[in-house]
Amino acid sequence: MNPPRPLRVACVGAGYFSRFHYDAWERIENVQPVAAVDREILRAMETGWNAYDALTVAIEERRPDLLDIVTPPHSHLDLIAQAIEQNVRAIICQKPFCNDLDEARRATRIAERAGVRLIVHENFRFQPWYRQIKAEVASGRIGSLLQMTVRLRTGDGQGTDAYLDRQPYFRTMPRLLVHETAVHFIDVFRFIVGDPQSVYADLRRYNPVIAGEDAGYFIFGYDDGARAMFDGNRLLDHAAENLRLTLGEALVEGTEGTLNVTGDGAVTFRPFGSTKTETVLAPLHYSGFGGDCVYALQKHVVDGLMTATPIENEAAAYLRNLELTELVYRAHERGERIML
């Protein structure tokens, strides 16, 4: 039996975060990198892949099976439509997915009509600590889950030079904390706790040099009484040598015990009524970003395409994250809890 033909992959975008994508693709079996596209051709050339400054030419010459879009949100809809027009059959698109919910819905409809697999690169649910927590909760180890709390503390938002060293476009985004960052945890909450029935939010901006909010809270409520709370502040830090490994800390509390995510990527379990803790996921050295979650997501997509198995975060399902993002902002503006 002949081995399967490698999946031909092209990437568009060669900015700061794209390096994690290119690195991951080069480590995944059954993948053949065929093109890197960027408006600045020198950045595309630095990847070591076949370099282009126009996506249409790259697709025409290299015929990728899958396009990985690693560009800012304002470009997503046009790039998706362009790739589909040129018969690319699978697309991964970075988050935030498109400029807004309306554009994301349009992109999803275009892909569905063409029969193209469109997956959002929402990678935090693929971080090893959240995969471990999902398994622990599913096993019943903590009993009934009553509270999940995430404390985002990136420590990169202070001063007049905030965000300039990595992602300067953060400074001009009218919506920053929730739209760009906390959407990761909206997805994580849905992955672990489920879809909420109510939303409350209180957002604010501390650093005057940026346009959007950089701190705030939101709380998801569930019919069974459970709550999921995001407590984010990009100016403050947490106890970690690498603040970008977990970006903060998390607690998942149940009637039979508590799971804790620490800044070094460990997960511990403390039974209810006890002071003793057990390490259920030890801190490890990971390649890539955030526990190598970029690799984990991209490999998951490759496996799904090669074996025709379900793929997480396909665009149609992911739209719920964007709807909840809008509700967070609306709850903040109204100063009240919104029932879904």
Q: End of a domain among 121, 140, 164? A: 121
* Residue 317 domain flag: no
Kindly report the length of the chain: 340
- Residue 129 is inside which H or E element, if any? helix 128-138
CA distance 340 to 337: 10
What is the CATH number for 22? 3.40.50.720
Coil, helix or strand at residue 249: strand
pLDDT of residue 167: 87
Q: 227 and 329 share a domain?
A: yes
Q: 198 and 238 share a domain?
A: yes
Q: End of a domain among 121, 154, 178? A: 121
**Rounded average pLDDT over 265-276:** 98
Q: 328 and 218 share a domain?
A: yes
In the chain, the amino acid numbered 133 is I
Q: End of a domain among 102, 121, 140? A: 121
- 2: confidence class by pLDDT, cuts 50, 70, 90: low
Task: For helices 55-62 and 76-85, give the axis angle rounded to 10 degrees.
Answer: 30
CA distance 149 to 238: 15
Q: What string of DSSP letters covers 75-113? A: GHHHHHHHHHHTT--EEEEESS-SSSHHHHHHHHHHHHH
pLDDT of residue 4: 79
Total count of domains within the chain = 2
> What's the domain range around 243?
125-289+322-339
> Per residue in 24-35, pLDDT tens?
999 999 999 999
Instruction: Return the closest-CA partner of residue 298 out of 13, 25, 14.
Output: 25
- Two tokens, residue 219: 């709380």
CA 43 to chain centre: 24
> Per residue in 109-163, pLDDT tens?
999 999 999 999 999 999 999 999 999 999 999 999 999 999 999 999 999 999 9
* Residue 300 domain flag: no
Q: 164 and 277 share a domain?
A: yes
> Per residue in 281-331, pLDDT tens?
999 999 899 999 999 999 999 999 999 999 999 999 999 999 999 999 999
pLDDT of residue 3: 67
Question: CA triplet 227, 233, 235: central angle to 5 degrees?
Answer: 170
> Per residue in 193-235, pLDDT tens?
999 999 999 999 999 999 999 999 999 999 999 999 999 999 9
Coil, helix or strand at residue 45: helix
Beta-bridge partners for 229: 149, 219
Q: 90 and 188 share a domain?
A: no
